[in-house]
Amino acid sequence: MDLKRIDELQNKLETLRPLNSSELKRLREEFMIENTYDSNAIEGNTLTLRETSLILQEGITIAEKPIKEHLEAIGHRDAFEYVISVADKNNPLTEQVIKMIHSLVLMNDASSRGVYRNVPVTILGSTNELPQPYLVPKLMETLIAEYDDMKREKHIIEAIAEFHLRFEGIHPFIDGNGRTGRLMMNLELIKAGLMPINIKFSDRRKYYECFDDYFANGKADALVNLIAGYEIYELERYINILQ
């Protein structure tokens, strides 16, 4: 758990000149495409990275792929752009922000966008029992309130990891929880002066095991380590670009 390394890199980053707006826009667009591909792939979307890029950059329709998968790519792109705008204003994480991220992610399902689920759900392969729908609003209100305490008492990476694990454990929406949760993770990283991270589709098993550890043992260490590893990679890469 190399949180000290993250602090060192963040301090170093703050001493370097920022990229100009056009350079930053290009890097963010490259990240957004990869992040859209990986986050959607984790949830079962079959678009390749190249197909995702063609849809988002060229507006091309991939003939053999469902329209739902095209909309998932566009929705994630729009949600990422919203996250950047919220982070730039340093707005707090509220239920309204969470529901807005979700409504953009789930652009293919008008009836469920930004609406807490009203039916019980289960996650196949998970031993964690999800709360009944009538408990969701209160659980979300409590989580958001307690997140402020987490940020005061823990390293920001630890706070973000615990928030993410608890959010996914509540599973407040009928669909789109994973994508929404990972976008919120990046929102909070950017607000903290850190880099957004992209949990790779190839690391999905390691990512799922973080939830198994948390719900079995109550420890967020596995996800803290996963986020920290990605964050160190992104910080070092960004610093190398600036130097």
> Which active-site residues does the annotation give?
171
DSSP of 176-226: -HHHHHHHHHHHHHHHTT-------GGGHHHHHHHHHHHHHH---HHHHHH
What φ, ψ does residue 93 adopt, rounded to 5°?
-80, 110
Contacts of 43 (CB under 8 A, 6+ apart): 72, 178, 179
H or E stretch covering 106: none
What φ, ψ does residue 193 adopt, rounded to 5°?
85, 15
Q: Give, in order, the Cα–Cα distances in Å from 61 to each of 32, 42, 57, 86.
A: 19, 21, 11, 30
Interatomic CA distance for residues 78 and 106, integer angstroms: 11
Interatomic CA distance for residues 156 and 170, integer angstroms: 21
